[in-house]
Chain A
């Protein structure tokens, strides 16, 4: 079932490249077995739960630090941004070698976990900052650009989470589904902007995550360019 998804989601150029590589000297693709993948999936699932698990554990230990509100806000925000960028790393990584094609099978889980942490981050704001005061929330969104950027980043993830099922992919058609899911780039960019806008002037802590996102985003046009050149060479 998931292999089917993979082929439908890949762009035509990519699949042909992949299939031509698959017909290489080895004769067949060396992919990890189904069982290994299933085990790995469980591990990744548990790994994605670590930030939440730590918060809950430390909460019960009364160990959330001097400013627990800030601890929870930062932990959920970091988890969202890191998982979202990790989900965007999968495509460039898997393009490095056909033997990494199986990585695609982790993208949805990681993306959904990013959305999950985004929801927790939003809930933290609604509860501990705005106290569910609708006027205060609207005021914040209108007046504060970092709230606006963060909220927009979350809103963009909603349709992606809703269309993450196999059924949606078939329903929308691979091409359209793929175009829609490019919103993930916009969401990640807005997430990084949100981070820059909340730190004090002169503070450069968001730099690392910005550099990683830049590399991950730049990898895509570079790959397309390389593909185009390759096609020209084949024609010659």
Chain B
């Protein structure tokens, strides 16, 4: 397959996506999606191999998305009211010029790759998810950040009309996350539009989210509306809430306990009771690719 076939596929998908009912929030989560809304993806050499995929029903019914409530089942129940069309992502802060791009242009911007990644939540559970997207670095290059930009901040949608959690939960809204520029530019960092070959279900962060597979899940901001470039480390939601429990870096690290529980092991979602438990891997198993980003850093201090 060459680049042109990817692009035409992605264009067709953008049009189909516009028409698809699922974007109007009518289709209930967990239902199978008709073929015309499938995303065209190509396999990526950056995919994790040798892991059983977590079933789609678990990925779409067991979510932490506090805008829609604190219980794992709340996002699947409440996220249907969020409208993901029209949607655009604004790029601002330390950039040449502030600009916006529509979700359909973003989908067409680069061919979508299927990337299978382990996903490790700070709460000590994990999944294996076949995401669809392309490296965030592609869009960062398009954004043309100034040389002084050292960090990237992601801001999520915060609409109390469709997000009941915003008035119930005491986090600084909108949800904010951030990465150092070199982390954001790393090829593993994925600008994500789908999973299992389908557009992201709302509860998983539709229509576009970040996935940083070597960090705890809360670093991977969902339903993003703004990408901001800054010179200083941006404020991030969980770090603001409880800085001793949630560090800015939050790299998956079995040797640094959460203040309240061990991070040495994790529970794999969708597995039977007696075989859920497994060892947590340093950098979630992506150390070969990312350990270099943190050379010389004390990861117990910068947890």
Contacts and interface: CB of A to CB of B under 8 A. Distances in A.
A202 B170 contact: yes
A138 interface: no
Contact of B273 (A64, A139, A146, A201): A64
B142 interface: no
Contacts of B170: 202
A129 B261 CA distance: 11
B242 interface: yes
Contact of B267 (A69, A136, A202): A69
A66 B75 CA distance: 14
Contact of A67 (B57, B242, B260, B276): B276
A205 interface: yes
Interface in B177-223: none
Interface of A: 59, 64-70, 72, 128-129, 131, 136, 139-140, 143-146, 197-198, 200-203, 205
Contacts of B269: 66-67
Contact of A69 (B241, B242, B262, B276): B276
- Which 8 A/B pairs are nearest by Cβ-Cβ distance? A66-B62, A66-B58, A68-B273, A201-B242, A202-B170, A66-B269, A69-B267, A69-B276
Nearest to B258: A144
Interface residues of B, number: 25
Looking at chain B's contact residues, the main secondary structure is loop
Interface of B: 57-58, 61-62, 70, 72, 125, 169-171, 241-242, 245, 257, 260-262, 267, 269-270, 272-274, 276-277
A59 B276 CA distance: 14
B160 to A, nearest CB: 16
Contacts of B276: 67-69, 128
A66 B61 contact: yes
Contacts of B257: 143
Contact of B260 (A66, A70, A144, A205): A144
Given A146-B260, A197-B260, A70 B273 contact: no
A131 B277 contact: yes
A75 B84 CA distance: 36
Contact of A202 (B57, B58, B241): B241
25 contacts: A64-B273, A66-B58, A66-B62, A66-B270, A67-B125, A67-B267, A68-B272, A68-B273, A69-B267, A69-B277, A70-B125, A70-B267, A72-B273, A128-B274, A131-B277, A139-B262, A143-B257, A144-B260, A146-B260, A197-B260, A198-B260, A200-B70, A200-B242, A201-B242, A202-B242
Contacts of A70: 125, 267
A136 B265 CA distance: 12
A136 B277 CA distance: 14
